[in-house]
Amino acid sequence: MNEGIRHPAARLAIEADDLDVFAVSLDAPEDVRARLWSHLSPEERQNAETFVFPEHQQRYVVGRGMLRELLAPRLGIPPGAIEFIGNAYGKPRLADVHRAAELNFNVSHSGSLALYAFCRDRDVGVDVELMREIEDADDLAERFFSPAEAAALAALPADQKSLAFLACWTRKEAFIKAIGLGLSCPLDAFDVSLDPEAPARLLRIDPSIDSVSSWSMQGFRPRDGYIAAVAHRPRGLVSQDRLAASSAD
Ligand X SMILES: CC(C)(COP(=O)(O)OP(=O)(O)OC[C@H]1O[C@@H](n2cnc3c(N)ncnc32)[C@H](O)[C@@H]1OP(=O)(O)O)[C@@H](O)C(=O)NCCC(=O)NCCS
User: What is the contact surface with ligand X in residues (CB under 6 A)?
Assistant: 63, 89-92, 106-109, 125, 127, 144, 169, 172-173, 176-177, 180, 182-183, 187
Phi, psi dihedrals of residue 120, rounded to the nearest 5°: -110, 135
Nearer to ligand X, 3 or 135 (CB): 135
Distance of alpha carbon 120 from alpha carbon 186, whole angstroms: 27
Residue nearest to ligand X (CB): 182
Beta carbon of residue 3, minimum distance to ligand X (angstroms, whole number): 26
Nearer to ligand X, 77 or 142 (CB): 142
Nearest one of 138, 167, 159 to 226, comparing CA atoms: 167
User: Helix, strand or coil for residue 70?
Assistant: helix
Contact 228, 115 (CB under 8 A): yes
Task: Name the percent of the chain in helix, strand, coil, to the closest 5.
Answer: 40, 25, 35
Say which DSSP state 183 is in. G
In angstroms, how far is the first alpha carbon of the chain from the final one? 32
Nearer to ligand X, 97 or 183 (CB): 183
Beta carbon of residue 186, minimum distance to ligand X (angstroms, whole number): 11
Nearer to ligand X, 58 or 106 (CB): 106
Beta carbon of residue 1, minimum distance to ligand X (angstroms, whole number): 21
CA distances from 80 to 6, 45, 85 (A): 16, 12, 15
Beta carbon of residue 214, minimum distance to ligand X (angstroms, whole number): 17
Nearer to ligand X, 169 or 215 (CB): 169
Distance of alpha carbon 247 from alpha carbon 220, whole angstroms: 32
Beta carbon of residue 111, minimum distance to ligand X (angstroms, whole number): 10
Beta carbon of residue 89, minimum distance to ligand X (angstroms, whole number): 4
Nearer to ligand X, 3 or 103 (CB): 103
